[in-house]
Amino acid sequence: MKYHLKSSNLLLVFIGILLLVAGCSGKEKTNREENKGRSIEFTRELSFLNPEGEIISTIEVAIADDQDERNMGLMDVNELPSDKGMLFIFDRQQPLSFWMANTPLSLDIFFVNESGEIVRIHQNTQPFSENNLTSGEPAKYVIETNNGFSISHDIQEGMKVALPDTLP
């Protein structure tokens, strides 16, 4: 009888350890899921065009058309699907400058003038960098995509972008 009591206690201790380990594992998974960063909503599409005006690639974009949204951009966004991006819309064409502070993703940044022409591309930007990435020429729009997008789709300065029909 004494042996039976010890084995029952041992079984309870073993079950307790299993529950403790399982509980810790579940918490880690929850933290990882919560650590995906800020989420954004993709509401429009835009297309990159080759010199003949044919569509090279179309992506869904989130729109940043006011000062607060432009300031946030893709900051604290940890994941960006390859067919998604962000379109920044400014009130007027002007020299623009971006940086990567609080942005954990490496991006390709396209500066686009009011005619839809890509005037500057910064490829494979460095996450969290506070270096200024300038348009070089006046621009009204900026598009951010995953790094390598411009190379994988052979998008170059001077090419055009078909912006969403109904810009906000």
List the beta bridge partners of residue 37.
77
Split at pLDDT 50, 70, 90, the class of 29 is very low
pLDDT digits (tens, 9 = 90+) for 102-159: 999 999 999 999 999 999 999 999 999 999 999 999 999 999 999 999 999 999 999 9
**d(C-alpha 14, C-alpha 25), whole Å:** 17
Question: CA end-to-end span of the chain, whole Å?
Answer: 79
Residue 153 vs residues 48, 94, 119: alpha-carbon distances, Å: 9, 27, 17
pTM, rounded to two decimals: 0.77
Split at pLDDT 50, 70, 90, the class of 28 is very low
pLDDT at 166 > cutoff 90:
no
In terms of Cβ atoms closer than 10 Å to its own Cβ (0-12, 13-18, 19+), residue 124 is: middle
Indicate the CATH number for domain 44-162. 2.60.120.1140
pLDDT at 164: 84
pLDDT at 63: 96
